[in-house]
């Protein structure tokens, strides 16, 4: 274990410790914003300490007052906190059920409205889309989805699952594609060792779903996938 990995582990423990009183106050006053605000500030403080040099392009395509479904490629465990920090506004995430078992963090995710998906159940994805659509209609949330469904094992761009696209069609909100480069090198799947280096996030113009239907969904999937792939390295997107 290198010093950077040890430092990142200590910062993660500190995050959980500091999150406990924030969660307690948020639950007491039934207000979700303190958890979200604290998490974004903490992540922004941590990145340079652990050696992540983050560049974000396309911020002009982000509007806190506009509901969207954000979709990005998934290279590393880092991607979720990174995108949550980079995207302004009332953002929530659809994520695998197991993450909600994390101590303290899982409780916070449930309280603020993150939506778990149980990929082992046939209707797990449908229930998640239904729940996310309800929250979008009732509370005005945007959602972040990694349409590959899981982190890449070899650094290569994977095929897309369609749940997030059904959510966008059902809600009638645009999709904002985003590409992530660099996080696989810093912390690949299956490794707890953390490296340092550049990370690049690029947001693209929103893709309207108004002209698409269930029958033309494959064309929408391909358009978003091609957009995200356009900023990836050749070895990340061999297709």
pLDDT value of position 35: 92
Pairing verdict, β 69-72 and 142-145 = parallel
Residue 111 in domain? yes
* Confidence check: pLDDT of 235 > 80: no
Residue 72 in domain? yes
Return the closest-CA partner of residue 101 out of 83, 91, 116, 112. 116
Residue 119 in domain? yes
Helix locations, the chain, DSSP H: 3-29, 33-49, 79-86, 105-112, 124-139, 163-171, 183-186, 217-229
Residue 216 in domain? yes
pLDDT value of position 101: 86
pLDDT value of position 150: 87
In the chain, how many H helices and how many E strands?
8, 7
- Cβ distance 89 to 64 under 8 Å? yes
Q: How many domains does the chain have?
A: 1
What CATH number does residue 192 fall under?
3.40.1130.10
- Find residue 29's DSSP bridge partners: none
What is the extent of the structural domain holding 122?
51-229
Residue 25 in domain? no
> Mean pLDDT over residues 114-132, rounded?
81
Model pTM score:
0.91
Q: What is the pLDDT of residues 18-46, one digit of tens each?
A: 999 999 999 888 888 899 999 999 999 99
Residue 15 in domain? no
Residue 29 in domain? no
- Find residue 178's DSSP bridge partners: 72, 203
177: Cβ contacts below 8 Å, ≥ 6 apart: 71, 72, 203, 204, 207, 224, 227, 228
Residue 113 in domain? yes
């Amino acid at each position: 274990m290198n010093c950077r990995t040890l430092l990142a582990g200590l910062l993660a423990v500190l995050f959980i410790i500091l999150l406990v009183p924030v969660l307690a106050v948020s639950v007491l006053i039934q207000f979700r914003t303190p958890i979200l605000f604290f998490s974004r500030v903490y992540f922004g403080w941590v990145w340079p300490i652990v050696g992540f040099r983050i560049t974000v392009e396309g911020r002009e395509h982000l509007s806190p007052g506009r509901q969207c479904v954000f979709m990005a490629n998934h290279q590393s465990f880092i991607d979720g906190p990174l995108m949550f920090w980079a995207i302004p506004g009332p953002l929530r995430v659809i994520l695998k059920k197991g993450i909600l078992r994390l101590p303290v963090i899982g409780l916070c995710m449930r309280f603020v409205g993150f939506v778990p998906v149980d990929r082992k159940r046939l209707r797990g994805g449908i229930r998640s889309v239904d729940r996310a659509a309800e929250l979008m209609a009732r509370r005005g949330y945007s959602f972040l989805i990694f349409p590959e469904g899981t982190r890449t094992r070899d650094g290569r761009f994977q095929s897309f699952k369609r749940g997030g696209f059904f959510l966008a069609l059902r809600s009638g909100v645009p999709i904002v594609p985003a590409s992530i480069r660099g996080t696989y090198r810093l912390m690949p799947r299956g490794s707890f060792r953390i490296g340092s280096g550049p990370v690049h996030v690029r947001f693209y113009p929103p893709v309207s779903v108004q002209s698409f239907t269930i029958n033309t969904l494959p064309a929408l999937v391909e358009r978003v996938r091609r957009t995200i792939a356009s900023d990836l390295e050749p070895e990340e997107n061999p297709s």
